[in-house]
């Protein structure tokens, strides 16, 4: 194989890797957008069906980014259009992930508020039936009304 053929083969392999990466980014972006839509409806984060798949795809993406940063993988894109397409996809993914972060934080805060409301209701119920006061001593006997009824 000549040097020119080797360069063309490497370029073609690079394009295939870039296209594969673009497909990964598109899939991840679509999944995050779907999750964002469900979070916007008020669904709790724990009930989202996208979490496992999103995590799997995000790990794949992070691995590729880490390999590029470490220099073990190179994503040099000679084709300007393909390079611009990759950058556009990365920016869209970033925007979707930024929105996802905001929505997940809001969902977590809403879950915390629900948990606190339940805990407060439990505390109030316990306090209502507890024979002990705030000091830990037996509370004064509560007035209980009892009536008698005489019927003929």
User: Tens place of pLDDT for every residue, the chain, 152 residues?
Assistant: 555 554 555 555 668 889 999 999 999 999 999 999 989 988 777 677 888 899 999 999 999 989 888 888 777 778 889 989 999 999 999 999 999 999 999 988 988 998 999 999 998 888 788 777 667 787 665 555 555 656 55
* CA atoms of 105 and 88, how far apart (whole Å): 26
Asked if residue 80 is part of any domain, the answer here is yes
Residue 63: per-residue pLDDT: 93
Asked if residue 29 is part of any domain, the answer here is yes
* CA atoms of 12 and 113, how far apart (whole Å): 54
C-beta of residue 78 within 8 angstroms of C-beta of residue 13: no
Domain boundaries, position 61: 3-129
Asked if residue 81 is part of any domain, the answer here is yes
Domain count, the chain: 1
Asked if residue 149 is part of any domain, the answer here is no
Asked if residue 138 is part of any domain, the answer here is no
């Amino acid at each position: 194989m000549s040097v020119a053929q080797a360069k063309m083969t490497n370029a073609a392999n690079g394009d295939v890797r870039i296209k594969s990466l673009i497909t990964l980014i598109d899939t991840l972006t679509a999944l995050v957008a779907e999750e964002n839509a469900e979070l916007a409806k008020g669904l709790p984060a724990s009930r989202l069906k996208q979490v496992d798949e999103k995590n799997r795809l995000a790990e794949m993406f992070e691995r590729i980014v880490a390999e590029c940063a470490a220099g073990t993988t190179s994503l040099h894109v000679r084709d300007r259009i393909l390079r611009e397409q990759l950058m556009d996809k990365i920016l869209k993914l970033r925007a979707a992930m930024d929105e996802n972060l905001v929505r997940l934080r809001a969902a977590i805060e809403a879950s915390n508020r629900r948990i606190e409301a339940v805990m407060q209701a439990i505390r109030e119920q316990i306090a209502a039936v507890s024979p002990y006061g705030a000091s830990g001593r037996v509370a004064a006997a509560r007035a209980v009304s009892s009536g008698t009824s005489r019927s003929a």
